[in-house]
Amino acid sequence: MIKRLAMQLEKNKIAEHNDRLLIGHQRKFDFVAEGISNIEEVIQKLIDFQVAIPSWALGTGGTRFARFSGSGEPGSLEEKMEDVGLLHALNQSSGAISLHIPWDIPENYAAIKTLAAQLDLRFDAVNSNTFQDQKNQGLSYKFGSLQHVNKAVRKQAIEHNIEVIRHGIELGSEALTVWLSDGSCFPGQLNFRKAFQNTLESLQEVYAALPANWKVFVEYKAFEPNFYSMTVGDWGQSLLYANKLGPKAYTLVDLGHHLPNANIEQIVSLLLMEGKLAGFHFNDSKYGDDDLTVGSIKPYQLFLIFNELVEGMDARGMDHAKDLGWMIDASHNVKDPLEDLLQSVEAIMLAYAQALTIDRKKLNAAQEHNDVVAAQEILQDIFRTDLRPVIAEARRISGGALQPLQLFRDLKVRDRLVKERGNKTVASGL
Ligand code: LRH
Ligand code: MN
């Protein structure tokens, strides 16, 4: 029924919503657009920019202490895709889903691809999982997977990654994301050099299984679930693997995977310079890998990251919409997952819009003259300019809602999902 709901929702409900808000929106848009010389180009880039929604973040998340389940959660891959379809219908910026295997193994590829086409979704990077032991699994990953001292465990993990590539090929995905929980919890537990070499050797077998047009994203993380060392612990280690693996290997930046106060925008600038930036797992955090709503804690950092992205991508003549992986990786412990994801996409689009309207000539001139104050003022002026009417206009032009979250609530979509699915369904994932 939801497909029908989603479809119906979009066509007439969105139009009515936009008609109600149009006059107020037009006034705000005209006011801010007046000061933006490249407004047409900015709006087209916003329309083309699509953020992939993680299939593992459509239910309520939890911590080791507790998980307070939500209701009307998607109980199958099909229902997860319908939820992403709903988000995309509302904001026209969520046109992709990133699957996690084995949490989302497609039973019938043809049916899944038909549903994806119906919901105007494509499959972004597929994610492997050697950080949990599955029921019928032969050997445990307790002491790691691709790094493991036991060659048989490494072989099992390599085969899993190759199986994930196979699922991705069937669905039309073109990238594999490898995040390894491998590492150690105590000094002396691990020989770092052997762990690196085992992991590299294993990744080389996975790399060899990649189709010609595929990429492998090596995701790094400073700590958790290991708390002394992680075998892909920072951008330098990930870049070391990516450079040794070859041209199809890149470094994936998850915003929550850094040590406190890391300068992520500088990391992004240098990975772009090296042509080794895979893309992102967007989220926000105050302490650790908190997986909070994008832009909810450090919005200025998100803006500075997009400033480096636009500068670096344009310096390399890259296609903003296609050349990097734009993915969310968040977990929702106290908020409705769909409302949280609508807020995250909004924050990403806002930071991107702000970065697109920076006067690069003026900024470069200030930098060339060491005019620190002028450079700061150029960035802060844009950050303090409310560009929300611009991203709303891009949504309106592409058939989305001017205020997606408000419409989601006005239409009581969560209530409808609970009525449709009951309040006991639990989404697989974190
Ligand atoms: C690890 C991580 C990784 C996913 C997992 C769900 O913290 O960011 O990207 O596999 O979350
Ligand atoms: Mn991640």
pLDDT in tens, 59-78: 998 899 999 988 999 999 99
Spacing, Cα 426 to ligand 2 middle (Å)? 21
pLDDT for 276 beyond 80: yes
Spacing, Cα 329 to ligand 2 middle (Å)? 5
* Residue among 141, 281, 290 to mutate when testing ligand 1 (max atoms within 8 A of CB): 281
Spacing, Cα 34 to ligand 1 middle (Å)? 42
Single out the residue of 78, 90, 98 nearest to residue 18, CA to CA. 90
pLDDT tens-place string over residues 317-327: 999 999 999 99
Helix (H, G, I), strand (E, B) or coil at 160: helix
pLDDT at 8: 62
d(CA 270, CA 227): 27
Phi and psi at residue 378, to the nearest 5°? -60, -45
Percent of the chain past pLDDT 70, that is, above it, reads 98
pLDDT at 2: 43
Peptide bond into 299 cis (omega under 30): no
d(CA 63, CA 165): 29
d(CA 232, CA 422): 41
Quickly state the pLDDT bin for 1 (edges 50, 70, 90): very low
Closest residue by Cα to atom 2, ligand 1, is: 179
pLDDT at 23: 98
Percent of the chain past pLDDT 90, that is, above it, reads 94
pLDDT for 5 beyond 80: no
Spacing, Cα 92 to ligand 2 middle (Å)? 23
Least confident range of 56-65, 253-262, 305-314:
56-65
> How far is CA 192 from each of CA 143, 200, 246, 334, rounded to the nearest angstrom?
13, 12, 22, 38
Q: Which atom of ligand 1 is the closest one to the Cα of 100?
A: 10
Quickly state the pLDDT bin for 3 (edges 50, 70, 90): very low
Phi and psi at residue 273, to the nearest 5°? -55, -40
- Number of helices (H), then strands (E), in the chain: 16, 11
* Residue among 226, 289, 329 to mutate when testing ligand 1 (max atoms within 8 A of CB): 329
CB hemisphere CA count around 325 (13 angstroms):
36
Ligand 1 first shell, C-beta below 6 A: 56, 127, 179, 219, 221, 254, 281, 289, 329, 430
Our CA dihedral for 210, 215, 219, 225, rounded to 10 degrees, sits at: -30
pLDDT at 209: 98
Tokens describing residue 354: 């702000």
Tokens describing residue 293: 């709503």
Whether the Cβ atoms of residue 65 and residue 78 lie closer than 8 Å to each other: no
CB hemisphere CA count around 93 (13 angstroms):
34
Strand duo 183-184 + 229-230: pairing: antiparallel
Phi and psi at residue 217, to the nearest 5°? -100, 115
Q: Which residue(s) pair with 96 in the sheet?
A: 52, 122
Whether the Cβ atoms of residue 387 and residue 354 lie closer than 8 Å to each other: yes
Render 366-389 in DSSP notation, one character per residue.
HHHTT-HHHHHHHHHHHHTS--HH
In this prediction, residues 41-51 reach a mean pLDDT of 98
Quickly state the pLDDT bin for 10 (edges 50, 70, 90): confident
pLDDT at 114: 97
pLDDT at 7: 55
Least confident range of 57-71, 117-131, 273-287, 388-402:
57-71
Mean pLDDT of the chain: 96
pLDDT for 384 beyond 50: yes
Single out the residue of 177, 109, 133, 116 nearest to residue 324, CA to CA. 177
Helix, strand and coil in the chain, % to nearest 5:
50, 10, 40
Closest residue by Cα to atom 7, ligand 1, is: 289
pLDDT at 320: 98
pLDDT tens-place string over residues 199-226: 999 999 999 999 999 999 999 999 999 9
One-letter amino acid for residue 184 of the chain? S
pLDDT tens-place string over residues 140-199: 999 999 999 999 999 999 999 999 999 999 999 999 999 999 999 999 999 999 999 999
pLDDT at 424: 77
Spacing, Cα 203 to ligand 2 middle (Å)? 18
Whether the Cβ atoms of residue 28 and residue 405 lie closer than 8 Å to each other: no
DSSP 332: B
